[in-house]
């Protein structure tokens, strides 16, 4: 199947990943259905590449990220990292693989242990994985602080003594401590002020160049994704419905859902009229519509859209730009 993915050997390859949660009801808590949070997602990330994953809240972005790292159990599929399947690894082998793929969480406060100093936070993984002797903890932690632009005196302070942006820098430094090859960033700037967001995004860009990092960057903010990503995947109700180069997806979107997301983005100086929110409510992942899962909210839906779920197929003029819509050729040109 052509998913518009790059031909080179990927660092991370996700194949048909599913994460379904059982719905239990009644006195005996019998399974009455399931929530299809992630419902057959395939995605590749090359070494040194940043892929942005966007979509409305509740579309399954964070569950997808957590399943990649085995923080949430996957129902089916494969997650190949460096050619090895993380989902089938025994515990000991997974523990050895974890330093190569780390996560930066959304909330910079709850993701840090309030009882640990910055020194302990930054070196806990290094000591656990026996990367450094105990006597070298301080020098290693100071190097990490400098990487993220924090002063040396932060070393013996606690998380509550820092601002939100500084705490997120600590979270990034902790993720960097084991020198990973891939960082999974789950809405890393959404809880920060706009001015601080720009600083953190610039920091992530600098770190990518310095260490040759790859990113899976998850966000609902299209402007943030545009700033950092080479490719963009658009997710809706547990599936990727558009995938391609950021320049193509964010300037010439093919799928009606992507078009609606971009049309709703406020633009400085533009009138509020015409900036329309998507019509209708997002269906429950426990009752996904038949056919195209976007058709109940799509202004271009036809009977054919209700009959079968479309697959990602090539669209537009950009190489590797794909979308899951059978009416792409009939849609009017996109006008931002």
Strand 214-219 to 231-236 pairing: unpaired
SS3 273: coil
CATH code assigned at 236: 3.40.50.300
- Is residue 146, in this structure, part of any structural domain at all? no
The pLDDT tens digits of the residues spanning 260-287 come to 999 887 665 555 544 555 777 788 899 9
Residue-level pLDDT at 30? 81
- Is residue 1, in this structure, part of any structural domain at all? no
Count of other CB atoms within 10 angstroms of residue 271: 7
- Is residue 136, in this structure, part of any structural domain at all? no
CA 64, CA 44: separation in Å to the nearest integer?
13
- Is residue 222, in this structure, part of any structural domain at all? yes
Domain count, the chain: 1
- Is residue 144, in this structure, part of any structural domain at all? no
- Is residue 127, in this structure, part of any structural domain at all? no
Within 13 A of 41's CA, how many CA atoms are on the CB side?
Answer: 34
- Is residue 31, in this structure, part of any structural domain at all? yes
SS3 199: helix
Which residues in the chain land under pLDDT 70? 1-8, 266-277, 336
CA 165 from centroid of its chain's CA atoms: 20
Task: Please say whether the dihedral angle defined by the alpha carbons of residues 58, 62, 68 and 73, taken in this order, is positive or negative.
Answer: negative
- Is residue 272, in this structure, part of any structural domain at all? yes
Beta carbons within 8 Å of 47's beta carbon, 6+ residues apart: 11, 181, 212, 214
CA 43, CA 50: separation in Å to the nearest integer?
12
Range of the domain at 87: 12-115+158-330
Strand 182-186 to 214-219 pairing: parallel
Residue-level pLDDT at 318? 78
Strand 84-85 to 76-81 pairing: antiparallel
Residue-level pLDDT at 269? 53
Count of other CB atoms within 10 angstroms of residue 217: 25
């Amino acid at each position: 199947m052509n998913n518009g993915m790059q031909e080179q050997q990927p660092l991370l390859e996700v194949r048909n990943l599913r994460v379904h949660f059982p719905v239990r009801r009644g006195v005996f808590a019998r399974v009455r259905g399931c929530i299809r949070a992630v419902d057959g997602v395939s995605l590749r990330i090359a070494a040194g590449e940043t892929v942005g994953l966007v979509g409305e809240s509740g579309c399954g972005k964070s569950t997808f990220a957590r399943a990649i790292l085995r923080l949430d159990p996957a129902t089916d599929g494969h997650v190949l990292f460096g050619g090895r399947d993380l989902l089938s690894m025994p515990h000991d082998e997974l523990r050895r693989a974890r330093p190569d793929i780390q996560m930066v969480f959304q909330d910079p406060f709850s993701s840090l242990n309030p009882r640990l100093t910055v020194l302990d936070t930054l070196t806990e993984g290094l000591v656990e994985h026996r990367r450094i002797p105990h006597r070298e903890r301080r020098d290693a932690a100071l190097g990490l602080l400098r990487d993220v632009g924090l002063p040396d005196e932060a070393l013996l302070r606690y998380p509550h003594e820092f601002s939100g942006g500084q705490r997120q820098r600590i979270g990034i430094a902790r993720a960097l401590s084991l020198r990973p090859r891939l960082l999974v960033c789950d809405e890393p700037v959404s809880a920060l002020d706009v001015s601080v967001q720009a600083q953190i995004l610039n920091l992530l860009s600098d770190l990518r160049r310095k260490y040759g990092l790859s990113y899976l960057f998850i966000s609902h903010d299209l402007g943030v994704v545009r700033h950092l990503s080479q490719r963009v995947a658009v997710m809706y109700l547990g599936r990727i419905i558009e995938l391609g180069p950021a320049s193509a997806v964010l300037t010439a979107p093919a799928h009606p859902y992507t078009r609606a997301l971009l049309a709703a983005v406020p633009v400085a100086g533009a009138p509020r009229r015409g900036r329309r929110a998507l019509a209708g409510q997002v269906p429950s992942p426990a009752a996904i519509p038949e056919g195209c899962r976007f058709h109940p909210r799509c202004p271009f839906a036809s009977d054919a859209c209700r009959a079968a779920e479309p697959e990602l197929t090539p669209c537009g003029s950009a190489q590797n730009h794909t979308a899951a819509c059978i009416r792409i050729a009939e849609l009017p040109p996109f006008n931002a």
